Amino acid sequence: MFNDKKATAADLAAVLAQHEAAEEAVLVQYRQVASAARDSGVRFLMQLICEDEERHHRLLATMQADAERAAKTTGQIGPTVEGAVLLQDQALDRTDAFLAHERDGLRQLNRLRRMTKRLSGGPSNFILDLMAADTRRHIAILEYINSRLRAALGDERQAVMLNAEFSNQGDRGARSWM
């Protein structure tokens, strides 16, 4: 075993490979339960878990490949935003627009949640909660990209201020769901 605080890229790749194998084994079981479920609601929710687990599997495989590459080269792990295909200022405009869309979507989901709570509650509320969690994750990803693009454009101070502002807005949205 190795010390987590002194782990190398090769160590990380090994742990990711182990975790990915475990995720794959569980994914097979999730798929079996989802396909065998007689209740359509249980089947639907289990399929949602399968989709998440499939995405986790892809992410772990990507991270493992990145760690293996890093172990052989620079040791630097993780994707870079600086190499974006779009010109950075165009990408910044797009991420700003996407952030506005996601925040608006979170407000709409919040409204739908309040409406369904008054009308029926139940599975609709739960599914809307899951969608809101996804939307908050989208916002966090876009904020990360946005801050990296702003930093690459030499506007680090503005990137920090905007991230703080966006994070505060996201927190208000998150609290309103509870």
What is the predicted pLDDT for the residue at 19? Answer: 87
Determine the distance from the C-alpha atom of residue 22 to the mean position of all C-alpha atoms in its chain, rounded to a whole number.
20
> Torsions phi, psi of 154, nearest 5?
85, 20
Question: Residue 97's closest CA among 131, 138, 152?
Answer: 138
What is the predicted pLDDT for the residue at 125? Answer: 82
CB 159 within 8 A of CB 147: yes
Tokens of 13: 């790749």
CB 84 within 8 A of CB 95: no
User: How many C-beta atoms surround the C-beta of residue 8 within 10 A?
Assistant: 14
Q: Looking at the structure, tell me whether residues 32 and 96 fall in a common domain.
A: no
Q: Looking at the structure, tell me whether residues 120 and 65 fall in a common domain.
A: no
Q: How many angstroms separate the CA atoms of 62 and 85, rounded?
A: 19
Tokens of 92: 């910044």
Counting as low any pLDDT under 50, the low residues of the chain are: 83-86, 156-157, 159-162, 164, 170-178
Q: In this structure, is residue 160 part of a structural domain?
A: yes
* Structural domain harbouring 163: 88-176
Structural domain total, the chain = 2
